Structure 1
Amino acid sequence: MPDIILFDDPVLRTQLLPFTYTRPVSGIRIGINTIAEKWMDWLQTPISFLTERYLSPKFRIHTSADNVFINGSLCPDANLAVTIHELPFNTALISAQNEILAVRTATRWNPSVGLDDFTTISYSEPFTMVRNVWDIFAFNGGQIKADFERIVSSRQSADLTDPYTCCYNSENIFIEEGAVVKASVLNAENGPIYIGRNALIQEGSMIQGPFAIGESSVLAQGTKIRPNTTVGPFCKVGGEVSNCVIFGYSNKGHDGYLGNSVLGEWCNLGANTNNSNLKNDHSVVKLHSYVSDTLADTALLFCGLMMGDYSKAGISTMFNTGTVVGVSVNVFGAGFQAKHVPSFSWGGAAEGFSEYRFQKALTVARDTVSRRNVAFDETEESILKSVFEQTQEQRLA
């Protein structure tokens, strides 16, 4: 079996900021799993990463005399897995738009080298690729269904034992061992529901599939989950959530609305935080672009909040339609917040913003992680330090 390396396309990586400040592109969660986890499951082999230098101590690369480099934005399916597995040496698989999907080589390849020394094969079948941050929630329902089908094809669901929980289309519900569901409504008529190991669905929760909740996450009492939503592992979620992806270790534990949004890891939304996901004039939503440093047209009517890792919002915070919040931001105060809040910012629209001093931000990040009994070591500190330095000009603008 060749070594599998998931590489960051440099153009797509920039388009997927702020989430790719702190992880490779393939570390993005969409559907039930991250893209990297999907490839490991499909190919039944370990994977490594070709990513930014400052991320590589955490996300290492391993190469050999037989390497397959796969675009980290590419979501696997059965046909892709077979095609890439059978790719000949010194051959590249490309899309109709000339995007590099995969490369097989005996050497250590990099996308900056290009494909001059490779035979190219065009791939004409449909596929899912995450090119923009809004694709994460836009494609999420389809990826929940695809991941669900892969899981149930070889595994058996645990039993639902609570007599007070009402299920619609129960054969489309998969429950991992240790999960607890109490007096809730699970409606899988329009899409599957996946409940991860040791997850807890508390009393009065109402869930419409497609939906996935990861290991040890909690839905608080009376939570309303609308379709195409993923709650990653070790999260706590309450209120109303619609077509959102929460990567993991993040909390939206209280009432408030979150729609058509993506939250990274280690985020926290204070009580009664709300976001707008539809403009009053029903025009197309524009979103801050890290490529052009201007507002980019999403071609979507519905688009909410994009929040990078370690960021927090105070109670009753209001986010505009199409807002981007960077890494390690503390945002609070009255009124709608700015459409773009740069990484390591502290403040709010009414009070103004100042730089979130790095040592203070680091102390909060370390405490946030340590409270979950997860190690926060020098590698994590180095990543945050690099992000702080990369984003300094944004805060000064």
Structure 2
Amino acid sequence: MNLILFDDPLVRTALLPFTFTRPVADIRVGILTIREKWERWLQTQASFQTVDYLQKKYPARSGNSNLLINGAVCPDENLVAAIRNMQPHTFLAQGTRLIAALEPTEEMSASNTIEYTEAITVIDKTWKIFKENAAQLKLDFKHITAGRKSASIDDKHTVIYGSPEDIFVEEGVYIRAAILNAESGPIYLGKKSIVQEGAIIRGSFALCEGAHINMGAKIRGDVTVGPFSKVGGEVSTSVIFGYSNKAHDGFLGASVLGEWCNLGADTNTSNLKNNYDHVKLWDHTKQGYEPTGLQFCGLMMGDHSKCSINTMFNTGTMVDVSSNVFGHGFPPNYVPSFGWGGASGFETYQLNKALETAERVMARRNVTFSDVDKEILSHIFETSALSRRWEKK
């Protein structure tokens, strides 16, 4: 069976800035990306049906028997069983949301559609990435570790609380003089990850392959640090996709960072308003601020964006792709792609300079900044021009 994960156009727009640079299913929530979850559950490789400018990097592969699954929907045991029981030329839906289609040859209708009545997890808002992270992390942990034995922690100065089965260590992990508390959720340490001296970690927590937790870090739970990222300071209820750095002191809470982001030393995010009111967040589908219904919501930062030392982000801030935020005071709660500035104003981060920086940053991690990557960022630069309101002044 050929698995294709498709983008719902409305959901994709609602998940910007993270879907500027990836299909919906390549969003990380829990330990794995949504794509990796489906590949593990169905024991197959997936491809993507996404927008044209991303399709070259994320191609779709068609086969004799195609199973299309909504890339915003996370798998679980009941949903996977329902999909396995689907007959050819049928659809699986919940209300108006299409979940899956097996060998579709005609339009959806009442006669060829199965209504799925169990609860599903759908990542259709940016803030749902961190809100659903704890539950997804626990589910991924159970699936990844089933039938496997954890590597041992031999460091005599590392202190462990909770059940041993709630801590799983892959091969090659380096850990020294840390505190791991799995009483409130599992802790997963990925292949060749590093936990340095004095780090305090509460579950649920995932440290993915090659990622670092720096000396004295305080991880307060429900946190995912994606592959090859480096994290220090205080972090709570947040997801970092991969190859990003929050290496220094400062607080990151109820937030999501894409790939190739960097937070300068002592950057702090507010995730709770002083009046304890619900947080509004920029929504690309509305081109304005929309209520999240959440009391806690911090920073949403797209790929390749960065900020300087001592940056302060207000509650419910969104920074799009390849922006550079700096200066005193709070920057606006919405920073469009390729913004350069802060509270005192913005100008446009010129494309050639942004591409040079991206290539330099990726080369430091031995990752090639390909021509396709350049095309994607160039497309975002062109299509986001209307969002950069300062260009019209």
Interval containing the TM-score (normalised by the shorter chain) = over 0.9
Q: Is contact 2:90-2:104 (8 Å) kept? A: no
Give per-residue Cα distances to partners, 1:245-271, cap 9 Å, x unaligned: 000000000000000000000000000
Distance in 2 between residues matched to 1:289 and 1:122, nearest whole Å:
29
Shift of 1:117: 9.2
Where does residue 165 of structure 1 map in the other structure?
A: 158
Distance in 2 between residues matched to 1:18 and 1:79, nearest whole Å:
31
SS at match of 1:133: coil
What amino acid is the match of 2:335?
V
Distance in 2 between residues matched to 1:17 and 1:290, nearest whole Å:
7
SS at match of 1:29: coil
SS at match of 1:272: coil
Pair 1:253 & 2:251 matched: no
Where does residue 22 of structure 2 map in the other structure?
A: 23
SS at match of 1:62: coil
Pair 1:99 & 2:104 matched: no
Where does residue 128 of structure 1 map in the other structure?
A: 121
What amino acid is the match of 1:393?
L
5+ residue gaps, structure 1, are none
Shift of 1:118: 6.8
Distance in 1 between residues matched to 2:96 and 2:211, nearest whole Å:
40
Pair 1:356 & 2:349 matched: yes
SS at match of 2:366: coil
SS at match of 2:127: helix
Where does residue 83 of structure 2 map in the other structure?
A: 84
Q: Is contact 1:277-1:320 (8 Å) kept? A: yes
SS at match of 2:168: strand
5+ residue gaps, structure 2, are none
Q: Is contact 2:188-2:206 (8 Å) kept? A: yes
Give per-residue Cα distances to partners, 1:300-327, cap 9 Å, x unaligned: 0000000000000000000000000000
Pair 1:235 & 2:239 matched: no
SS at match of 2:210: coil
Distance in 2 between residues matched to 1:270 and 1:392, nearest whole Å:
26
Q: Is contact 1:90-1:118 (8 Å) kept? A: no
From 211, 214, 222, the equivalent of 2:216 is 222
SS at match of 2:376: helix
Distance in 2 between residues matched to 1:291 and 1:219, nearest whole Å:
36
What amino acid is the match of 1:182?
R
SS at match of 1:141: helix
Pair 1:300 & 2:299 matched: no
Q: Is contact 1:90-1:117 (8 Å) kept? A: no
Pair 1:365 & 2:358 matched: yes
Where does residue 289 of structure 1 map in the other structure?
A: 283
Distance in 2 between residues matched to 1:94 and 1:372, nearest whole Å:
42
Q: Is contact 2:218-2:235 (8 Å) kept? A: yes
Where does residue 339 of structure 1 map in the other structure?
A: 333
Where does residue 75 of structure 1 map in the other structure?
A: 74
- Worse-superposed segment, 98-107 or 45-54: 98-107
Distance in 2 between residues matched to 1:173 and 1:323, nearest whole Å:
33
Distance in 2 between residues matched to 1:233 and 1:197, nearest whole Å:
9
Pair 1:212 & 2:206 matched: yes
Shift of 1:337: 1.2
Equivalent residues in 2 for 1:182-221, closer than 5 Å: 182-221=176-215
Where does residue 280 of structure 1 map in the other structure?
A: 274
Q: Is contact 1:304-1:321 (8 Å) kept? A: yes
Where does residue 144 of structure 2 map in the other structure?
A: 151
Give per-residue Cα distances to partners, 1:130-156, cap 9 Å, x unaligned: 010000000000001000000121321
Give per-residue Cα distances to partners, 1:213-258, cap 9 Å, x unaligned: 1111111100000110000000110000000000000000000000
Q: Is contact 2:133-2:239 (8 Å) kept? A: yes
Where does residue 390 of structure 1 map in the other structure?
A: 383
* Percent identical: 51
Q: Is contact 2:209-2:226 (8 Å) kept? A: yes
What amino acid is the match of 1:91?
T
SS at match of 2:388: helix
Pair 1:56 & 2:55 matched: yes
Pair 1:375 & 2:368 matched: yes
Distance in 2 between residues matched to 1:118 and 1:27, nearest whole Å:
32
Stretches of 4+ moved more than 4 A in 1? Answer: none
Question: Matched residue pairs, number?
Answer: 389
Shift of 1:65: 2.4
Shift of 1:79: 1.4
Where does residue 305 of structure 2 map in the other structure?
A: 311
Distance in 1 between residues matched to 2:152 and 2:72, nearest whole Å:
35
Distance in 1 between residues matched to 2:133 and 2:96, nearest whole Å:
25
Distance in 2 between residues matched to 1:241 and 1:396, nearest whole Å:
33
Distance in 1 between residues matched to 2:42 and 2:135, nearest whole Å:
20
Q: Is contact 1:288-1:340 (8 Å) kept? A: yes
Pair 1:176 & 2:155 matched: no
